[in-house]
Structure 1
């Protein structure tokens, strides 16, 4: 039997990683503009010590992963954890045969098209959208550079999905020591999809501002106050060990991706509605994204001497937070004028 689902197209934003690119591919298959869905939401939420060593980790606040990524769209996702590789493949195969592409968690070490092949272990995510039983292959799409869309052998896919993802040398960083377990993700997209218009944009801006105004409970970082507390609490603690560096790095990556996407969502809204003020607001949000990018790189390179890096990291985080306070003030004025 051979099934190859049509309509699979690459989608990627420069400041995102495999989670957003894979969700973008799956949303596109279902006829949803990825930027409309993934770029609308912007906020900060993180329960302390919740992070997992996965490139596709994202704090979800009780919602499914895709619902947390696209809070203004009728979407949901569900992780599946089969008991073994045989069941893992039969579940994927059945979903695809029924007409639904899926996301699969994999270790780049076993994928011949990834630069990390046979060199570096890391938790990754991509789309599986077809199979050929006779040829013994699966069709996969991975927009993360060097980008790939085509077939790999089922044995390669099985090895990548079942990997223990070990730390074997000092290049296995951030997304290792967390077995893959043949996990895969299915998504659902409802029919009542919002229109990308000024009313939707106003609701998005007001909703995001309300989210930034919220406060978390004990052990929960939420809103702009939680973001400030997260940076104030966690940056000095990178001296406790590499796990704290990994924690800040992974969370910063999730926030960076959402911020960068929201900047482009605003800019695209400005072009659609001929509102230059939205394009300008998008540039301001983009500046926040690049603050996060610089902070993330600085944290990643602090592993050798974390104590020496803390003062500069705190200075950088203060600059980020001060800029973001100004952006949120400006966003409130723009939302009120729409």
Structure 2
């Protein structure tokens, strides 16, 4: 049993800008004794993979396609791997074996079948939660979910299986996170070395990320659009496809942008915190500028979400939000470069 290590709902790590992917990684980092903000907020990038966007809350196109945790936290010993439970008769046995070894598997689920989610019985949507214990005798699964309204406790195993095995059918109430099969998927996260965030590591991260924004990123699949050149290409493509009446580009912008928004928001919060702690004005300003990028993503994402049924009607507003986002990125990257020079 691992329930003695179960955090309270109030103790789960959450930020307004993050998706369930960051929240579940954070729980694994915190369990290993790390600071989730320092681990998950140190790296910042822009990366878009054409044709790859999936209708899941946890979609993220990382530099390491098979390792989303390493993609998000490349400066720390964090790694992950996706699995699918193979035992049709007793698929929970795989999760039970992991929790018995004090591993926290992260299960993909459909919110429609989870009693503690606001979408219960109403809306299908692909989501992630952390599994802490499987009790075959009691017929229960102990889980945690930091996303509001936040839950940490025991649910019926049948409800969990319905959510974990769901086809997550297309749902007109959620055009962005339904229509993506769950298929008993789960993520295992490994936390190895978590180096302290000293001046050398911080400076290396800021310098490296600044260069990748300027020149693009050599890591990852060759077709990825990266850095500030990739951002410009993404926004140009988004506007051109909207002008052509293509709803797909706008529909994809909402789930894709969540990962970019989360990275910018966490990076900004971390730099602000460090700037205050060490009294470095350039770090505080870089943090403020990165957080401005996160706020600018809200306009692009929501305009795309509401505008995708009629892209031409949304075009003028979308162009304005895209322009503000691009300007925010350029100012944010410039401020980050100023910060690493000041360290």
Deviation per residue, 1:137-188 (Å, 9 max, x gap): 11111011110000001000000000000124x2032011111000001011
Name the SS for the 2:91 alignment partner. Answer: helix
Give the match for residue 197 of structure 2: 196
Does the 8 A contact of 2:64 with 2:70 survive in 1?
no
Q: What is the CA distance between 1:244 and its match in structure 2? A: 2.4
Q: TM-score, normalised by structure 1?
A: 0.94
Deviation per residue, 1:202-256 (Å, 9 max, x gap): 1111111022123368642111110110011123324554432221111111101
Deviation per residue, 1:245-299 (Å, 9 max, x gap): 2211111111011110111010111122222331222111111110001111111
CA distance 1:3–1:119, shift in 2 (3 Å) = same
Give the distance between the partners of 2:34 and 2:2, measured in 1 at CA.
23
* RMSD of aligned residue pairs (Cα, Å): 1.7
103-112 or 306-315, larger mean C-alpha shift: 306-315
Does the 8 A contact of 2:39 with 2:73 survive in 1?
yes
1:180 is the counterpart of 2:185: no
For structure 2, the 5+ residue unaligned runs are none
Q: What is the CA distance between 1:318 and its match in structure 2? A: 1.6
Give the match for residue 311 of structure 2: 306
87, 90, 95: which is aligned to 2:93? 90
Q: How many residues align?
A: 335
Give the match for residue 146 of structure 1: 149
CA distance 1:221–1:90, shift in 2 (3 Å) = same
Give the distance between the partners of 1:115 and 1:74, measured in 2 at CA.
35
Give the distance between the partners of 1:47 and 1:214, measured in 2 at CA.
17
Give the match for residue 106 of structure 1: 109
Give the distance between the partners of 1:249 and 1:235, measured in 2 at CA.
14
Name the SS for the 2:5 alignment partner. Answer: coil
1:36 is the counterpart of 2:38: yes
Name the SS for the 1:56 alignment partner. Answer: coil
Q: What is the CA distance between 1:84 and its match in structure 2? A: 5.0
Give the match for residue 18 of structure 1: 20
Give the match for residue 231 of structure 1: 235
Give the distance between the partners of 1:65 and 1:180, measured in 2 at CA.
17
305-314 or 251-260, larger mean C-alpha shift: 305-314
For structure 1, the 5+ residue unaligned runs are none
Give the distance between the partners of 2:251 and 2:89, measured in 1 at CA.
33
Give the match for residue 171 of structure 1: 173
CA distance 1:33–1:79, shift in 2 (3 Å) = same
Give the match for residue 59 of structure 1: 61
1:332 is the counterpart of 2:337: yes
Does the 8 A contact of 2:289 with 2:335 survive in 1?
no
Q: What is the CA distance between 1:72 and its match in structure 2? A: 0.9
Give the distance between the partners of 1:199 and 1:7, measured in 2 at CA.
35
CA distance 1:334–1:311, shift in 2 (3 Å) = same
